[in-house]
Structure 1
Amino acid sequence: MDSFSFLPNAVLVLCAGSLVQMAAIAIRRNVAQDAVLGLVVLLASLAVILAPTALVLTGTLPLFAPDAWASYTAALVILSAIAIHIMSWRNSVLSDTSVGSEYYLLLTLATLGGVVMSSAIHDVSFFIGLEILSLAMFGLIAFRNARIDAGEAAMKYLVLSGLSSAMLLMGFALTFAETGSLRFLAPVATNAPEPLLASMGVILVLTGMFFKLSAVPFHLWLADVLEGTSIPVAALVAVLSKIGLFAAMVRYFSSINLYVSGPQVDEIVAVAVLSMIGGNLLAVAQTNIKRMLAGSSIAHIGYLLVAFLSPGPFSFASAAFYLAAYAIATLGIFAIIAGVMPQGSYISDWYGMFRRKPVAAFAMSVMLLSLAGIPPSVGFFAKFYIVAAGISAHRVILLLVLIAGSTISLFYYLRLILVMILPRPSDSEAHRQMPPITTPWVGNRALIALLAVATILLGVFPSRLVQSGRQLLDVPPPPGPSASP
Structure 2
Amino acid sequence: MIEHDVFLPTSLPVLCVGITVMLAATAWRRSTNRSFLTGLATLLLALVFVGHHTGTARDNGDSLFIQDQWANYTAILIMFSSMCILLISWRNDANDRTTSLVDEYPLLCMLGTLGALTMVFSANYMPFFLGLEILGVSLMGLVTFRHRPVMPGYEAAMKYLILSGVSSAILLFGVGLAYGVTGSLRFMPPATTGDIYPALPVAATIMILIGMFFKLSAVPFHMWLLDVMEGAPVPVAAFLAVVSKIAIFSSLIRYFGTGNQPPFLNDILYVVIILTIMGGNLLALRQTSLTRLLACSSIAHVGYLLIAFLCPGRLQSGAITIYLLAYTASTLGVFATIAAFATPDGSDGAVIAQWKGLFFTRPFLASSMSLMLLSLAGIPPGIGFFAKFEIAATGVEYQRNLLLGVLIIGSIIGLYYYLNIIRVMMSAPSLPSASLNRHIRPELMALVIVLTIIVVIGGLFPARALHPLLPVSAIPSDTEAEMTMR
TM-score, normalising length: structure 1: 0.93
Aligned to 1:403: 408
State the distance in 1 between where 2:238 and 2:485 align. 38
Structure 1 residue 382, shift from structure 2 partner: 0.2
The answer to whether structure 1 residue 180 and structure 2 residue 183 are counterparts is: yes
Q: Describe the shift of the 1:481–1:251 C-alpha distance in structure 2 as closer, same or farther (beyond 3 A).
A: closer
Q: Deviations over 1:341-365 (max 9, x none)?
A: 4422211001111001111100000
Structure 1 residue 479, shift from structure 2 partner: 5.0
State the distance in 1 between where 2:142 and 2:122 align. 24
1:103 counterpart (102, 105, 113): 105
Aligned to 1:448: 448
Question: Bigger shift: 229-238 or 174-183?
Answer: 174-183
2:169 counterpart (160, 166, 170): 166
CA contact (8 A) 2:457 2:465 kept: no
Structure 1 residue 265, shift from structure 2 partner: 2.4
The answer to whether structure 1 residue 151 and structure 2 residue 157 are counterparts is: no
State the distance in 2 between where 1:95 and 1:462 align. 44
Q: Deviations over 1:65-109 (max 9, x none)?
A: 111111000000000000001001126758656421011111111
State the identity as a percent.
44
The answer to whether structure 1 residue 355 and structure 2 residue 360 are counterparts is: yes
The answer to whether structure 1 residue 45 and structure 2 residue 42 are counterparts is: no
CA contact (8 A) 1:187 1:255 kept: no
Aligned to 1:216: 219
CA contact (8 A) 2:5 2:484 kept: no
1:121 counterpart (123, 130, 135): 123
State the distance in 2 between where 1:251 and 1:15 align. 24
CA contact (8 A) 1:341 1:436 kept: no
Structure 1 residue 411, shift from structure 2 partner: 0.8
CA contact (8 A) 1:316 1:472 kept: yes
State the distance in 2 between where 1:230 and 1:62 align. 38
Aligned to 1:267: 268
State the distance in 1 between where 2:207 and 2:229 align. 26
Structure 1 residue 471, shift from structure 2 partner: 3.7
Structure 1 residue 4, shift from structure 2 partner: 5.6
Aligned to 1:136: 138
Residue 401 of structure 1 aligns with an amino acid whose one-letter code is V
State the distance in 1 between where 2:193 and 2:312 align. 19
1:424 counterpart (416, 423, 429): 429
Question: Bigger shift: 91-100 or 198-207?
Answer: 91-100
Structure 1 residue 316, shift from structure 2 partner: 2.4
Q: Deviations over 1:128-175 (max 9, x none)?
A: 010110011111011225440000000000100000000100110111
State the distance in 1 between where 2:192 and 2:412 align. 38
- Structure 2: 5+ residue stretches without partners: none
- Structure 1: 5+ residue stretches without partners: none
CA RMSD of aligned residues (A): 2.2
CA contact (8 A) 2:322 2:387 kept: yes
Aligned to 2:245: 242
Local SS of the residue matching 1:474:
coil
State the distance in 1 between where 2:164 and 2:105 align. 20
Residue 278 of structure 1 aligns with an amino acid whose one-letter code is G
2:208 counterpart (205, 209, 218): 205
**Structure-to-structure mapping, 1:318-467, within 5 angstroms:** 318-342=319-343, 343-424=348-429, 435=435, 437-467=437-467
CA contact (8 A) 1:184 1:478 kept: no
Question: Bigger shift: 336-345 or 219-228?
Answer: 336-345
Residue 112 of structure 1 aligns with an amino acid whose one-letter code is L
Aligned to 2:292: 291
Residue 450 of structure 1 aligns with an amino acid whose one-letter code is V
CA contact (8 A) 2:341 2:435 kept: no
State the distance in 2 between where 1:347 and 1:153 align. 21
State the distance in 2 between where 1:105 and 1:308 align. 34
CA contact (8 A) 1:215 1:275 kept: yes
Local SS of the residue matching 1:65:
strand
Q: Describe the shift of the 1:95–1:300 C-alpha distance in structure 2 as closer, same or farther (beyond 3 A).
A: farther
State the distance in 2 between where 1:213 and 1:95 align. 37
Local SS of the residue matching 2:196:
coil
Residue 357 of structure 2 aligns with an amino acid whose one-letter code is G
CA contact (8 A) 1:4 1:56 kept: yes
The answer to whether structure 1 residue 82 and structure 2 residue 83 are counterparts is: yes
State the distance in 1 between where 2:365 and 2:164 align. 35
Number of matched residues?
Answer: 473
1:225 counterpart (217, 223, 228): 228
CA contact (8 A) 2:273 2:304 kept: yes
Q: Describe the shift of the 1:80–1:355 C-alpha distance in structure 2 as closer, same or farther (beyond 3 A).
A: same
CA contact (8 A) 1:186 1:256 kept: no
CA contact (8 A) 1:38 1:108 kept: yes
Q: Describe the shift of the 1:374–1:194 C-alpha distance in structure 2 as closer, same or farther (beyond 3 A).
A: same
State the distance in 2 between where 1:472 and 1:9 align. 20
